[in-house]
């Protein structure tokens, strides 16, 4: 997986989804996520012959990008596409909904970030943005395969 910002730094700077969580002014309101600004960094598959149509997102505090709070996998196609891809109905269902990546370690807030992501991806513009980024990423690697070496 290669971060989108490695191939498109300026665009990623403008279009990476960031969420600001403010502190609740009401002490009776339970604060689930700590007040901070969080970025949902996009990663895409670098394999030229793979058309998985998925994004992996790593949620980080804007001021601490090396500490991953949640790793989320999401696919925007219909479940049937991912059933063919994964050969597993439950994985396909979870990919379309968005799921915590089972391979990566998750923080105590990972489930909360997943809920937040599912709300965000319901926004058609954000969903289309992820698809557009995927296409751009794959096209750029097809035109310039040497960028795989540069990114390593």
pLDDT digits (tens, 9 = 90+) for 135-148: 999 999 988 877 76
Range of 64's domain?
2-23+34-147
pLDDT digits (tens, 9 = 90+) for 33-71: 888 999 999 999 999 889 999 999 999 998 898 999 999
Measure the CA–CA gap between 20 and 104, rounded to whole angstroms: 24
Q: Tell me whether residue 152 is in a domain.
A: no
Q: Tell me whether residue 94 is in a domain.
A: yes
Q: Tell me whether residue 53 is in a domain.
A: yes
With tokens 């949620």, the residue in question is: 59
Measure the CA–CA gap between 146 and 142, rounded to whole angstroms: 9
Q: Tell me whether residue 28 is in a domain.
A: no
Q: Tell me whether residue 29 is in a domain.
A: no
Give how many domains the chain has, as a whole number: 1
The answer to whether 73 and 56 have CB atoms below 8 angstroms apart is yes
Q: Tell me whether residue 121 is in a domain.
A: yes
User: What's the pLDDT at 32?
Assistant: 84
- Residue 41 sits at φ, ψ, to 5 deg, of -80, 130
Q: Tell me whether residue 134 is in a domain.
A: yes
- More confident: 15 or 48: 15
Q: Tell me whether residue 67 is in a domain.
A: yes
């Amino acid at each position: 997986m290669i971060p989108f910002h490695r191939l498109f730094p300026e665009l990623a700077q403008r279009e990476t989804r960031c969420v600001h969580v403010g502190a609740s002014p009401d002490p009776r309101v339970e604060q689930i996520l700590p007040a901070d600004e969080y970025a949902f960094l996009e990663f895409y598959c670098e394999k030229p012959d793979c058309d998985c149509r998925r994004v992996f997102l790593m949620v980080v505090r804007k001021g601490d990008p090396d500490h991953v709070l949640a790793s989320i996998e999401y696919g925007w196609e219909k479940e049937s596409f991912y059933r063919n891809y994964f050969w597993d109905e439950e994985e396909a269902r979870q990919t379309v909904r968005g799921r915590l990546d089972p391979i990566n370690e998750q923080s105590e807030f990972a489930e909360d970030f997943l809920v937040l992501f599912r709300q965000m991806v319901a926004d058609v513009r954000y969903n289309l943005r992820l698809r557009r980024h995927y296409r751009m990423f794959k096209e750029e690697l097809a035109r310039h395969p040497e960028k795989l070496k540069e990114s390593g």
